[in-house]
A and B are shown apart, each in its own frame.
Chain A
Amino acid sequence: MRALLAVGAAVLAALVLGFPYLVNAYWLSVGVLAIFYAIVAASWALLAGYAGQFSFGHMAFVSLGAYTSGLLVVSFGVPIPLGIAAGIVMCALVGSGIGFVCLRMRGPYLALFTVAFSEVLRIVIVSENEVTGGSGGLEVPPMFHIKSDMPYYYLGLVLLGASLAIMLALVHSRWGLFFRAIRENEEAAAASGVKVVRFRIIAFAISSSFAGLAGGFFGHYIAILTPDIGSVDQMGLVVAMAVIGGAESIVAVTIGALGLEFLVEALRSYGQWRLVLFGALLLLTMRFARNGLLALGWEYAKAILPLSLWEGVGGRGRGLNMTNPSPSPRSASQPEPTRGGGVS
């Protein structure tokens, strides 16, 4: 069984590394975009799925990172890597700022605040067209002056791999435990000694930094920035990718985002149906398989395949095993919403 797994992993690695040689230019560019969406969706899952902070302003951070880098490079001639780094720093700063001002807000209030932030940023970018190019877009220099997308693909793979490694290390560390404690119940987490304030801000800062990184990469790949990057519809796309994959597992989200981006391009003759399809899938997933389709598929695979086959791979299922067999003690012992507490 282990040998089989090793072979499987090797084939997968060969496929991923050899992907640019196997497909035409169109699918290669789809691959680059899929990698971009995977980084964005995974970092959103870190914030929403793990820390429970439902921010709908994540694409605004992507846009902030992209525009910061783009404007620095265009206006001041800063080298591109430095520009992207500045975008990441910018997103970390603004992200911790948003995390800080949102400390009193929960759930829908936070979601509303971040939607508003995202729309305000978009409107400012549209309106200040002398600086940002407005809706017409801002042309920024590409990273590589070469016709093929191949270098972008490999750079994207490295960025995705590094981001995933950092995020996975994070969520499996004590910090990840703190994030999940905050998600489940802030008061209980605080009572157990989790520094809720600090870790809510940290979650925002880290997740926004990854959004900034993805934004910088995307901007200097696509070479034209438009305010639409930060639109609510783009956010919906990312949310759909994360939820359909399974927002409570970084790996599931990544697979979901990669898979869905390819799926959508495969159905590109129905291009305008893209968001309708994603919206419908998002609704169905939320309604019937809240842990995501991958977790559902995993359970299904385990159920139909002989049990002995899975004994050797017990460890692999951990990341996806997110079913909640019983209601949490909170919902069992406290069926009523708390009254009169305001939103503090």
Chain B
Amino acid sequence: MTDYLLIQALNGVVIGIIYAVIAAGLTVIFSILKVVNFAHGEVFMMGGYFAYFAISLAGVPPLPAILVAMAISFIMSIAIERTLLTPLYSPTIERKGDYGILITFGISIFLRNLALIIYGPYPLRPPSFWSGALVIGGLIMTWDRVFAGAAGILMLVGLVLFMNRTAWGEALNAVSQSRESAAIVGIDDQRFYMLAFGLGGALAGGAGALVGPIYSLSPSMGLLPDTQAFAIVILGGMGSVGGSIIAGLMIGVAESMFVALFPDPSRSLTYAQAFSLLVLMVVLLIRPTGFFGRVHTAME
């Protein structure tokens, strides 16, 4: 039993890292564009399929396919941002918040159902990054999960370094604090809206590519990670990458433990899906600004 719980906890850590990657993308988008992206889970789903087709059609090896998926997700996100989100920055548009909600919700419906037609409703499973499993004593973990966790950590470290150590990251931070002041010091905010949305999409797409071999790909796979990512982002504080990482791990482990310890095993899987939703609802009720949020990124 303790072995089982430990394995579940480790699985939870891996899932938590992937959640953290998705959530970090969401929070980058939110802190710059001030829009809660309801289509984030669908970019995640698309990323999984991009990797799958990069492997099966173009013959890319599984690991570089993650990078391919991130690149295509980046481009797709920028295309979405340029065509549909520009009214968010226009001073003549009324009630931008409502526009952001409806337009991203519309994008999510569109992408999910488009995927249903293009890819079909049946789950697809990309090949493993590395077959077999890591065995240490009584602990077993497939290499796919080990790789996914490691790659997720790399993405998060890369994101944190990018945000804190590069000029572009500093500029993103500046735009997130004040669009006007950033414009005054010569930062072209349009470019950084593009960059932020593309970066968020790339992270989501990369996460999608990582979960592909662990679970399978299906057009509706974005629905739950989307709400889970929201739960994480709100728990960790909107706009706080570090908060997302901590909250992602918390949610991932808590969810695995919930599955392991739920008294009725026949229902534990379906109720596990409700778990993060309930966390989201409770956090929204008790502390909508999250626990690590920065004041300037709080919703207006």
The residues of A with any CB-CB pair to B shorter than 8 Å are 52, 54, 56, 101, 104-109, 111-113, 115-117, 119-120, 123-124, 126-127, 183-184, 232-233, 236, 239-240, 243, 272-276, 278-280, 282-283, 286-287, 290, 324, 327-328, 331, 335-343
Instruction: List 12 contacting pairs A-B, 8 Å CB cutoff, sorted by A.
Output: A54-B101, A105-B284, A105-B288, A108-B299, A120-B277, A123-B271, A233-B112, A276-B110, A276-B117, A327-B94, A339-B295, A342-B298
Q: Which 7 A-B pairs have the closest CB atoms?
A: A279-B110, A108-B36, A236-B109, A337-B300, A275-B113, A282-B106, A107-B97
Query: With a CB–CB cut-off of 8 A, which chain A residues contact B180?
Result: 335-336
Which of A56, A233, A279, A338 is most buried by chain B, counting CB atoms within 10 A of its CB?
A: A279
Closest to B271 in A: A127
A-B contact count (CB 8 A): 163
Query: With a CB–CB cut-off of 8 A, which chain A residues contact B94?
Result: 324, 327-328, 331
Count of chain B residues near A, Cβ 8 A = 56
Encode B82-106 as 1/0 by CB contact (under 8 A) with A. Answer: 0110010001111101111111011
Complex Cα gap A283–B108 (Å): 10
Within 8 A of A (CB), among B242-300: 267, 270-271, 273-274, 277-278, 280-281, 284-285, 288-289, 295-296, 298-300
Are the C-beta atoms of A111 and B109 separated by less than 8 Å? no
Shortest beta-carbon distance from B169 to chain A in Å: 22
Query: With a CB–CB cut-off of 8 A, which chain B residues contact A111?
Result: 36, 38, 101, 105
Shortest beta-carbon distance from A135 to chain B in Å: 10
Complex Cα gap A183–B280 (Å): 25
Shortest beta-carbon distance from B184 to chain A in Å: 13
Are the C-beta atoms of B300 and A341 separated by less than 8 Å? yes
Complex Cα gap A66–B59 (Å): 50
Also in contact, A239 and B105, with CB within 8 A (given A108-B100, A342-B298): yes
Closest to A126 in B: B270
Also in contact, A278 and B299, with CB within 8 A (given A109-B284, A272-B116): no
Partner of B280, one of A104, A112, A184: A112
Shortest beta-carbon distance from A253 to chain B in Å: 14
Partner of B277, one of A56, A116, A240, A283: A116
B interface: dominant SS: helix
Shortest beta-carbon distance from B82 to chain A in Å: 12
Query: With a CB–CB cut-off of 8 A, which chain B residues contact A108?
Result: 35-36, 97, 100-101, 299
Complex Cα gap A274–B113 (Å): 9
Closest to B270 in A: A127
Partner of B102, one of A183, A276, A286, A341: A286
Instruction: Decide yes or no whether B75 CB sits under 8 A from chain A.
Output: no
Are the C-beta atoms of A232 and B271 separated by less than 8 Å? no
Are the C-beta atoms of B299 and A343 separated by less than 8 Å? yes
Query: With a CB–CB cut-off of 8 A, which chain A residues contact B230?
Result: 112
Are the C-beta atoms of B274 and A123 separated by less than 8 Å? yes
Query: With a CB–CB cut-off of 8 A, which chain A residues contact B87?
Result: 287
Within 8 A of A (CB), among B178-236: 178-180, 223, 227, 230, 234
Complex Cα gap A107–B35 (Å): 10
Complex Cα gap A56–B109 (Å): 12
Are the C-beta atoms of B101 and A107 separated by less than 8 Å? yes
Complex Cα gap A337–B30 (Å): 14
Instruction: Decide yes or no whether B114 CB sits under 8 A from chain A.
Output: yes
Closest to A270 in B: B117
Closest to A287 in B: B84
Query: With a CB–CB cut-off of 8 A, which chain B residues contact A273?
Result: 117
Also in contact, A279 and B296, with CB within 8 A (given A124-B274, A327-B92): no
Complex Cα gap A239–B179 (Å): 31
Instruction: Decide yes or no whether B145 CB sits under 8 A from chain A.
Output: no
Complex Cα gap A282–B111 (Å): 12
Complex Cα gap A239–B108 (Å): 12
Which of A52, A108, A331 is most buried by chain B, counting CB atoms within 10 A of its CB?
A: A108
